Amino acid sequence: MSTANIYKIMDDPNSLDIDVERVRRDFPMLSQRVHGVPLVYLDNAASTHKPTLVIDAIRRVYEQDYSNIHRGVHELSQRLTMQYEEAREKIRVFLNARSRAEIVFTYGTTDSINLVAQTFGRANIGKGDEILISEMEHHSNIVPWQLLCEQTGATLKVIPFNDQGNLAMSDVEALLSERTKLVALVHVSNALGTINPIGPIIKLAHDAGAKVLVDGAQAVAHMKTDVQKSDVDFYAFSGHKVFGPTGIGVLYGKEDLLEAMPPWRGGGDMIRTVTFEKTTYADLPYKFEAGTPNIAGGIGLGAAIDYVHDIGLKHINHYENSLLAYMTRQLLNVEWLKIIGNAPCKSGAISFMIEGVHHNDLGQYIDHLGVAIRTGHHCAQPVMQHYGVTGTARASLAFYNNTQDIDRFIEALEKAKKFLL
Ligand code: PMP
């Protein structure tokens, strides 16, 4: 189905519903059978599937327009450069950034965070300074800061969360000081599903004189992100979690901050002039984009954003919230199962455990019933340590999931319990 058609169906102001059956037909992966039964895909927090529109956009790059970008004078290079830069513009609009100079293409969230650590961090954070993160961060928003602390002598401080899976504003306030140079916080926790109140935390951090980086990996596919409204300094996300390709991601940064930051990777495309005595650097955002980029990835991500835009994040958010409520109710009915993380504001993912059943055994068993979920520590070992467990099972949603998926998942859990306990 073309996105124009979806747009007509979805943009009815009287309806915030999504025609899931039509949407599902746009995702070829979803119609397959796994172990002889129709696939139920509930591992969207790990990665999302791709609509035909995205697959076609990537195919077109290699079949019709392929060449290297930015430096060629010939038709193909110019054509593809235009498409790549159009994708950047789509991302600017998606995040409501002021300018395309603020949109840096990276390899993903991890790469974006490392970029900030090694450029902004190296230039602005030193011995005696503090970096504040939370206890619910993904490893990719922990390890880059630990490396930076080792390199600079700065100290890493951690905002705890309570057993419900919430941060307390009083803890944020208590941990912020004039020594805090940066707060790095996840928008939506991949392990707990908690939505953090980034607006008020950014305000508190700014009042204390700190800059803020938000890890938006689990947020952008589910809710509207507005970097101007939240006043965030840096925002990172990955293409593959928002229906785009792997190997492409985005770092948003306020222009004045990016301007003042030194480059990180050196090479082609990020320079203005090179002599053996001195190199001068390209304008933003190219200063941070050394080497041939993931061209098809960027264009594919632009197509994914078109797709999300045509359905509408308002519709997606509304639909997913009701689906999450349905899944939560169904899981709460299962008395032998425990949900890990019960924050009142959650998005997309539910972590859970069955007493006496190892999460990996559970995951493998229900995989044979066609149900794909994630098991393990979810790259958030401190979250597991908080609850004194080595891992959990996690079911995570996208707007192409429906209540039948959840019913099949619950049935599979019932069977697993009979077999494994
Ligand atoms: N942060 C969060 C909250 C995540 O869920 C993930 C991916 N699981 C990442 C960061 C890292 O994303 P990527 O591997 O695409 O760089």
pLDDT above 60 (res 246): yes
Whose C-alpha lies nearest to ligand 1, atom 12?
A: 109
Distance from residue 138's CA to the centre of ligand 1 (Å)? 7
Mean pLDDT value across residues 311-331: 96
* Statement to judge: residues 40 and 124 lie in one domain: no
* Statement to judge: residues 304 and 319 lie in one domain: no
CATH number of the domain enclosing 251: 3.40.640.10
pTM: 0.96
Top-confidence range, 7-21, 61-75, 216-230: 216-230
Domain count across the chain: 2
What local confidence, expressed as pLDDT, does residue 16 receive? 60
Mean pLDDT value across residues 295-300: 98
CATH number of the domain enclosing 389: 3.90.1150.10
pLDDT above 50 (res 169): yes
pLDDT above 60 (res 266): yes
Determine if ligand 1 sits within 6 Å of the CB of residue 108.
yes
pLDDT above 80 (res 4): no
Separation of alpha carbons 348 and 395, rounded Å:
8
pLDDT-based confidence at 8, cuts 50/70/90?
Answer: very low
Angle, in degrees to the nearest 10, between helices 295-311 and 3-10: 30
Distance from residue 152's CA to the centre of ligand 1 (Å)? 25
Nearest Cα to Cα of residue 217 among 108, 143, 318:
108
Whose C-alpha lies nearest to ligand 1, atom 14?
A: 110
Neighbours of 302 (CB within 10 A): 25
Domain span at 357? 3-50+312-420
pLDDT above 60 (res 9): no
Of 269, 292, 310, which closes a domain?
310
What local confidence, expressed as pLDDT, does residue 421 receive? 86
Tokens at 204, concatenated: 């508190």
* Statement to judge: residues 337 and 390 lie in one domain: yes
* Statement to judge: residues 226 and 121 lie in one domain: yes
Separation of alpha carbons 45 and 365, rounded Å:
20
Ligand 1 pocket mutation, candidates 115, 116, 190, criterion most atoms within 8 A of CB: 190
Distance from residue 349's CA to the centre of ligand 1 (Å)? 14
* Statement to judge: residues 292 and 377 lie in one domain: no
* Statement to judge: residues 259 and 287 lie in one domain: yes
Name every residue whose Cβ is closer than 8 Å to that of residue 97 and which is 6 or more positions away in sequence: 91, 103, 227, 228, 252
Of 268, 290, 310, which closes a domain?
310
> Across the chain, what does the average pLDDT equal?
95
pLDDT above 70 (res 13): no
pLDDT above 50 (res 22): yes
- Residue-level length of the chain: 421
Whose C-alpha lies nearest to ligand 1, atom 5?
A: 190
The strand pairing partners of 238, in sequence order, are: 249
What local confidence, expressed as pLDDT, does residue 17 receive? 77
Tokens at 53, concatenated: 């529109």
* Statement to judge: residues 303 and 322 lie in one domain: no
Of 266, 282, 310, which closes a domain?
310
pLDDT tens per residue, range 353-375? 999 999 999 999 999 999 999 99
* Statement to judge: residues 138 and 266 lie in one domain: yes
* Statement to judge: residues 316 and 306 lie in one domain: no
Query: H helices of 130-273, where?
Result: 143-152, 169-175, 198-207, 227-230, 255-260
Ligand 1 pocket mutation, candidates 44, 47, 110, criterion most atoms within 8 A of CB: 110
* Statement to judge: residues 283 and 329 lie in one domain: no
Query: Residues 76, 379, 389, 420: which is the catalytic one?
Result: 379
Atom index in ligand 1 nearest the CA of residue 379 equals: 8
What local confidence, expressed as pLDDT, does residue 207 receive? 98
Whose C-alpha lies nearest to ligand 1, atom 6?
A: 217
Nearest Cα to Cα of residue 409 among 396, 391, 392:
396
What local confidence, expressed as pLDDT, does residue 404 receive? 97
pLDDT-based confidence at 12, cuts 50/70/90?
Answer: very low
- 345 has catalytic annotation: no
Atom index in ligand 1 nearest the CA of residue 246 equals: 15
* Statement to judge: residues 110 and 206 lie in one domain: yes
Q: Please state whether beta strands 37-38 and 33-34 pair in parallel, antiparallel, or not at all (unpaired).
A: antiparallel
Distance from residue 137's CA to the centre of ligand 1 (Å)? 10
pLDDT tens per residue, range 79-117? 999 999 999 999 999 999 999 999 999 999 999 999 999
Nearest Cα to Cα of residue 298 among 240, 226, 218, 220:
240
Atom index in ligand 1 nearest the CA of residue 189 equals: 3
What local confidence, expressed as pLDDT, does residue 78 receive? 94
* Statement to judge: residues 12 and 124 lie in one domain: no
